[in-house]
């Protein structure tokens, strides 16, 4: 039960921080939200979910380190939060998410709000590197591993946050597909860089956590199987992203300048692709949350 709570808490923190970071950036470079209500509601929901998930994680970790009853003991929870390195990282995130919530409540939707939320989300995402496997190594190796972990987290957040925005943008039958096309075109200029950074940083992390001498562990350990499953989901996301970029977005552009039937067909195809890609992203986040509770092969090696 405690382990399931930890996994769920990590998942919701990852997801909410990714939305704060990636969606806010998307509002800066790819979409002008104007007077819409849902971008602000997205920030509010993300901050509230992230705060609740962070609190749940601290309580579950306290119970795991001590006794179940300690989860409801404020003193015990505070000791874990203040006296351990991972606890301080989660305490930092809790404060960041509280600031994000306050900003979403008091600052009018604007470039200032999206910039501040993107900074908060980015710092929150980067802080996961200090409470995960990125702290396994020391010295130069530790710096490289930690840096790769930060890059990996930020690149993933940029992509996932944009997907959530696109889902909301095209969810309604009467969505403005001209605006959706402009947003997709803007993301197409950012997406390849995010993917390249994800792949490169992922390779670095894999070298540190699996190692060339433990490749076989990808198929014989729980960690390896989960990592392999995550990579398979990522490959499917890449395939859908390529289809969006090179086939469905041009098809939508043609539909916008054509008749209603052609536009409707292009819109349905795009919706299916973007929604499927988002579902895959959610599954990847779930795999990442679970991987964080497992010991990597390099750590288990004699």
pTM given for the model: 0.88
pLDDT at 125: 92
271 versus 35: which is more confidently predicted? 271
pLDDT at 182: 84
- Which token pair is 164? 């959530």
Residue 302 — pLDDT band, cuts 50, 70, 90?
Answer: very low
Residues 155, 198: Cα–Cα separation, whole Å: 6
**Extents of the domains making up the chain:** 1-131, 140-302
pLDDT exceeds 90 at position 103: yes
pLDDT digits (tens, 9 = 90+) for 272-283: 999 999 999 999
Residue 163 — pLDDT band, cuts 50, 70, 90?
Answer: very high
């Amino acid at each position: 039960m405690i382990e399931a709570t930890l996994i769920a808490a990590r998942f919701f923190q990852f997801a909410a921080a990714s939305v704060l970071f990636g969606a806010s950036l998307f509002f800066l470079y790819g979409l002008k939200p104007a007077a819409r209500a849902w971008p602000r509601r997205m920030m509010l929901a993300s901050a509230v979910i992230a705060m609740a998930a962070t609190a749940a994680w601290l309580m579950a970790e306290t119970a795991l380190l001590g006794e179940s009853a300690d989860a409801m003991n404020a003193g015990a929870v505070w000791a874990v939060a203040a006296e351990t390195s991972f606890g301080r990282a989660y305490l930092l995130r809790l404060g960041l998410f509280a600031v994000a919530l306050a900003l979403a409540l008091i600052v009018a939707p604007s470039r200032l709000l999206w910039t501040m939320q993107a900074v908060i989300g980015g710092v929150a995402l980067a802080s996961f590197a200090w409470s995960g496997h990125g702290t396994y190594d020391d010295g130069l190796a530790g710096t490289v591993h930690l840096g790769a972990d930060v890059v990996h987290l930020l690149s993933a957040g940029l992509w996932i946050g944009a997907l959530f925005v696109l889902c909301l943008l095209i969810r309604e039958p009467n969505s403005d597909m001209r605006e959706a096309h402009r947003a997709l075109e803007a993301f197409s200029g950012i997406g390849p860089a995010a993917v390249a950074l994800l792949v490169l940083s992922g390779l670095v992390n894999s070298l540190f956590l699996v190692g060339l001498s433990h490749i076989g562990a990808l198929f014989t350990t729980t960690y390896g199987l989960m990592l392999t499953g995550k990579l398979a989901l990522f490959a499917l996301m890449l395939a859908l992203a390529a289809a969006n970029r090179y086939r469905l977005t041009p098809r939508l552009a043609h539909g916008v300048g054509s008749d209603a039937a052609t536009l409707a067909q292009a819109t349905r195809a795009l919706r299916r692709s973007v929604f499927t890609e988002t579902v895959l992203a959610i599954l990847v986040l779930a795999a990442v949350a679970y991987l964080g509770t497992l010991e990597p092969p390099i750590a288990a090696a004699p």
